[in-house]
Structure 1
Amino acid sequence: MTATSFYPVMMSREVATAATFYREALDFEVTFDSGWYISLRRGDFELAIVDHDHGTVPDGFRVPVRGLILNLEVDDVDAVHEALTGRGFVPVSPLRDEDFGQRHFIVEAPDGVLLDVIQPIPPTGEYADAYAGGSLAG
């Protein structure tokens, strides 16, 4: 099999509201908008949002996304934190360093999704040994 793309499609109660969040917070651009389905792209990254109640979603699965954390790795988390808070986004988890190798903060996106903005940093203690060969942060 040759894969040509792989991206999440989140089911939402408010497709336009969710798309606006990712456009404003992360500078995604709309590549397709039918109202019930919006496809977004930023560089090589794609994200789509579909109306949870649309007929293309199989019966029994028409539930808005919930309990999802989207990780966004960046090279300067402090700059992203400053930019997002400067535009009014309020972190639900403050900017901080974690022993497991992340400097990060979390903001709430629509539909109860969490956006975790991460900069890898060197892990400390026992976490350094948990990384598989060659994948150590920092």
Structure 2
Amino acid sequence: MKRLATIILIALSTITTSYAQNNVQSQNQFQMKLNAGIITEKIQETKQFYTENLGFGVTFENEFYLLMHTPGHQAQLSFLLPDHPSQQPLFQSKFQGEGAYLTIEVQDVDELYHQLKEKGVQIKIDIRDEPWGDRHFAIQDPNGVGIDLVKYTGPAN
């Protein structure tokens, strides 16, 4: 009887371990890293805007592509010249300056607001508190992309 119980425990342990490994492999198979991209002729202006105003760094750059990262390397954003012969037609049409936005969560939205105002960056939406818990303001990059700079504060009572 003890031998049967031991065999059952070993079998259950093997099945459980196999299931857990398969489950982890399945989850890892679908882990993703997002890099949003904008097709634009304004790569140099964009680089200057993001580095000088938001502290982004350059991860990679060549004559037709710019890959940037947020401070701390938590997210990336890329820019590509339109109609570049190295790219497939899907990635050749330039962004038309409407219908896109980025949300960037920051620790001190008030400080960033004051810094950007001092630099003369045009504020598109003044700093405000929303009932759903955002304290935020918005600016616009050289390509027309709206940038919502936000600190989540929690919903108002």
Gaps spanning 5+ residues in structure 2: where?
A: 1-28
Distance change >3 Å, CA 69–CA 39, structure 1 → 2: same
Q: Deviation per CA, 1:60-102, whole angstroms, max 9, x where unpaired? A: 8613153211101112110110111111112011001111211
Matched residue SS, 2:60: strand
Matched residue SS, 1:89: coil
Query: Aligned residues, how many?
Result: 125
CA distance in 2 between partners of 1:8 and 1:41 (Å): 11
Letter in 2 for 1:84: L
CA distance in 2 between partners of 1:49 and 1:3 (Å): 23
Question: 1:99 corresponds to which residue?
Answer: 131
Q: Which runs of 4+ in 1 moved over 4 A?
A: none
Letter in 1 for 2:43: V
Question: 2:39 corresponds to which residue?
Answer: 11
Which of 114, 125, 128 aligns to 1:82? It is: 114
CA distance in 1 between partners of 2:44 and 2:154 (Å): 38
Question: 2:19 corresponds to which residue?
Answer: none
Q: Give the alignment's TM-score, normalised by structure 1.
A: 0.80
Q: Flag the structure with larger Rg.
A: 2
Letter in 1 for 2:56: F
Question: 1:49 corresponds to which residue?
Answer: 79
Q: Give the alignment's TM-score, normalised by structure 2.
A: 0.71
CA distance in 2 between partners of 1:106 and 1:59 (Å): 30
Q: 2:39, 2:92 within 8 Å by CA — same for their partners in 1?
A: no
Letter in 2 for 1:26: L
| Pair 1:118 & 2:146 matched | no
